[in-house]
Each structure stands twice: as C-alpha cells, then as structure tokens.
Amino acid sequence: MKRSRMGLSALALISVSALALAGCATSNDDAAAPDADSSAIISTNGSEPQNPLIPTNTTETGGGKITTSLFAGLVSYDADGAIENEVAKSIESDDATNWTVTLNDGWTFTNGEAVTSSSFVDAWNYGALYSNAQGASYFFDDIAGFSYDADSELTGLKVVDDTTFTVELSSPEADWPLRLGYTAFMPLPSVAFEDMAAYGENPIGNGPYMLAEEGAWVHDEGINLITNPDYDGVRKPVNGGLDIIFYATQDAAYADVQGGNLDVLDAVPDSAFETYADEFGDRSVNQPAAIFQAFNMPYYLEHWSGEEGELRRAAISMSIDRAEITDVIFQGTRTPATDFTSPVIDGYSDALEGSDVLEFNPDEAVKLWAEADAIAPYGDTTFDIAYNSDGGHQAWVDAVTNSIKNTLGIDAVGKPYPTFAAALDDRSNEKLTGATRAGWQADYPSLYNFLAPLYKTGAGSNYEGYSSTEFDTLLEEGAAAETVEDATAKYQEAQEVLLKDLPTIPLWYSNVVGVWSESVNDVVFGWDSVPLYFQITKG
C-alpha cells in the first residue's frame, strides 16, 4: 500500500525564516451511518500496561493505546501520519530553535480544570526531571536545561500567559512539531502533582475518551473508557466508548472476534494467517505499518560484549534465514529487515553499508562463531530468546532458534513470559538469561524516533545498555541538521554504526494484520498500526 504522510521531507519545505504550524485544525466531519448507535461501546484487544498511566512514563504499546485515547496534545496524527493541530492553535518559529506555542481557548480536563500553558510546561518539566525517573524523559533532551544525570529544570520552557508558552531548543530542529503528538508531550491537570502514583491509576485527561468510572482499570483484565462529552478536537468520537480487553493470547482474542464477542482485533495470530482473509474478507486489513521487530542481547551477559560479543552478534544474525521464516511463518505479513527503521518512514534504506550482516550466510556465521570461541569458548551454554506469550510470538521464536541451532550447532530455545509487562520487568531489572524479543512501534513518523529511544546512551527504552559515542554524535548531528537530506544522511550513518555493533538483531518489518466483526463499520488502521477508534461506528 503506497501511503502519503507528512514526514521530515514535508516539514523541510517550510521556510526557516517563518517556520509555522498554524490554522490547520480540523474537525471530524464524517457523519456516522444512519443506523449507527452513537452510545455503543466498541470492544478491542489490548495488553496490561507496564506502569501506571502517566504519559511521560508510558512507553509501550499496551499503555500507549490507552493514554492516546485519554489525552489530547498540541497536535495529533491522522491515518497517514500527518500532523493536525489539537490543543495548539499555532506552533511557530523564525529560526527552528525558539518556538512560540499558542493554545486554542476552551480546552478542559475531565475534572473541569482549564488546559493552560502551565498544564504543558509543568507536565514536561515533571517528565524531564531526573529524579522522577520517567521512561520517556529523553524526549525532552533537546529542550534547553535538560540533564540526563541531575535534577535540572527545563530552562527553555517559559509560560507567557494562559494560552501562550515558548520553547528554546538546544539546537535548531525544523521538524520539532512532528513529535508533539506523542503521549510524552501531553498536558497534566494540577491534581496529578498531588499524588502522581494515585493519579496514574485513575488518570484525568483531556482527550476523546475518559475512564468510565474510578477503578475502571482492572489490572490484567482490561480497562473501560467512555466518550468525553467536553472533547471537541479533531478526533471526536462517533461511538460511546472503548472496552479494551487484555487477552492472555492472541488466539483467544481471535476466537472472540470470530464469535462476535470482540469488535476489533489489531493483531491476527500467526495460526490464522492462512485463513483470516477468506474468513473476514473486506473486514480485514494487511497493510504496511511503522513497526520494526528484532531481538536484543544484553551486554551484561558473559560472551556478549567486547570483540567476542561483536563476533557472536554477527554470527547469530547471519545464522537466521529471515526470508524463509517470513514466508513460511508470516505468509506475506512481514518483510525481512535491511535497516533499523521501517519502509513507511521517509529515509528508509535497503542499501546501508554493512547490511549484508542481515543476510542468511551459514558459512560466514560458523566462521565468526569459531573466531569468538577462540577468544572464550561458548561451551554448552544455552542460547535463549525471551518473549511474551500474550503477543503471539512462539512460532517465530521457535523458527529463529531452530535456524540458529541448525546453523551453529548450539542449543537454542525460546523462553516464554506470561505477559509483555513481565517480560519488560526482567529487561528493566537486568535479569535476562539470554536474548529478548524487541521491537518498536513508532511514536511519531521519523527515522529519529526509531533510533534515539532504543540505542542512544541512557535512553528510556535502551534496556540492554548499548552505548556508542560515535552513534550518539551522528544522531545529534542529524537532529540539528538544517535540511532533511543532511539529517537523513546522518541517521543512515548512525545505522551503519549499529550494523557493526548489532545491539539488536534486526529481523523484519511488520504489517498491521487486523480483523473486525460484522457489528462495526468505518474501521481504519493508522500509519502506526493502531485503529482510529474514534471513527468506528456500531449499530
């Protein structure tokens, strides 16, 4: 599917002398079908969030699906990834370093408090503060005053009045507005700062949906959201709310949508890849999405750092037959990776220097593994890949470990965890015994977003502790580049560093493969694979 989107190239067309995002706010004018029930609740699948629902500490897909529904930021993204103003009336700069943000009047949180400049500035300062240990703090590292290792106020944020604030960046970034639809940049009401932990269990937002009631989040079961009657942004719901159900397996969710007990499923299990299109017909989708899949090897484990580790990482990568696995297991719903981003993002490349390490080459894999053994014998150590059972990963993990086992002659197995949250906890606490399934669903449509959060030194989602001065420098140079072409070149150079170091083993890019029941209509999946829930009708 060829997709249009407002990515870096579109933003590059904006003159640096008058950079602006203004006057593009729109409303959802698509009328619901005549027989649609505007009070109907839409049911969909989800997963237990790793943390309380604080926007700056929600960096995984389970929590992200919820916080995106509960909050509205300065901008939001349409189905193709283009940005539209929400709370922002305009976002303007003359030099791409100093930005003035003007808010639309009339926005309120669901407790009646007005959304003001301070709602954003206070939330961003909280998220960036070192001692608050927020997972998405690195999203603020381009704002003047940010510190990775000490409490430091974002001196680049200034409240002018209730509807105006200014942002000073550390260096020019012409595409800075592009990231502002991500949940890390959402506003917070003043009550949140009284008890942030309690607030995270029952968040008060300003988005298209709100919690159905206090306690609507039942851990490990689901969360119930209803339409926010005061929301009047570009994602105005035409339904009554969302029931997000946390399934233990994708197969269970698929059985429910088959039986009419679930309205929308955004991840068909691999067991149904042969049949879902015939069974659901035009109530199914298989389209490219901004999703990258891989697995990581922690540097804290024996055999996986230094020269030995570099040799073993390359050997493992070249022992995997990606083409066969994507063909047999995924049947046209995945594409073997050639870089660390996604084909739907501007700047993607299939010709990076060093990308041959991602090709199946058993002879070279055996050679490199032997060279690593000459440094320190691997012996009878088992190579395992941790994965979450609720994500439908067993089939491909088994295929990958079999490919590694058959090529290198080592014992390789999968290591299942019951939930995504449980798997993330062991990653966060450095308790892995081997590799771990990893991946990235983009927060905003940019090459930078696929690189900085995962591999930059100290980044919130850099769980396995990769650190490279060369990579960090190239990333910073790309972020500060004056043209999209220059930025893209730096990001591609940075990926060539990753191809040598292999902190992650790229596997494939995912399509979003979803289905929906006969009871719903107007189902559209966005650039990031998430359904546009607000426009789904039922009746």
Q: Which residues of 214-253 are buried (b: 16+ CB within 10 A; e: fewer)?
A: eebbeeeebbbbbbbeebebbbbbbbbbbbbbbbebbeeb
Q: How far apart are CA 228 and CA 209, in angstroms?
A: 5
Task: Please state which CATH class domain 8-258+517-538 belongs to.
Answer: alpha beta
Residue that wins the pLDDT comparison between 459 and 66:
66
User: Is the confidence at residue 137, as pLDDT, over 70?
Assistant: yes
User: Is the confidence at residue 212, as pLDDT, over 90?
Assistant: yes
- For the chain, what is the radius of gyration of the CA atoms? 23
Backbone angles phi, psi at 91, to 5 degrees: -135, 110
Q: How far apart are CA 500 and CA 399, in angstroms?
A: 25
Confidence of residue 5 (pLDDT cuts 50, 70, 90): very low
> What is the residue extent of each domain of the chain?
8-258+517-538, 288-512
Q: Kindly tell me the burial class for residue 315, based on how many C-beta atoms sit within 10 Å of its own C-beta (0-12, 13-18, 19 or more).
A: buried
User: For residue 203, what are its two tokens?
Assistant: 């968040």
3-state SS class at 524: coil
pLDDT digits (tens, 9 = 90+) for 87-134: 999 999 998 899 999 999 999 999 999 999 999 999 999 999 999 999
Model pTM score = 0.77
pLDDT value at residue 33? 58
CA angle 32, 36, 42 (to 5 degrees): 95
- Please state the rounded mean pLDDT for residues 220-242: 97
Is 3.10.105.10 the CATH number for 288-512?
A: yes
- Range with the poorest average pLDDT among 20-34, 66-80, 206-220, 380-394: 20-34
Q: Give 338's DSSP letter.
A: S
8-258+517-538 and 288-512: identical CATH topology: no
Whether 61 and 47 have beta carbons less than 8 Å apart is answered as yes
User: Is the confidence at residue 159, as pLDDT, over 90?
Assistant: yes
pLDDT digits (tens, 9 = 90+) for 336-394: 999 999 998 889 999 999 999 999 999 999 999 999 999 999 999 999 999 998 888 99
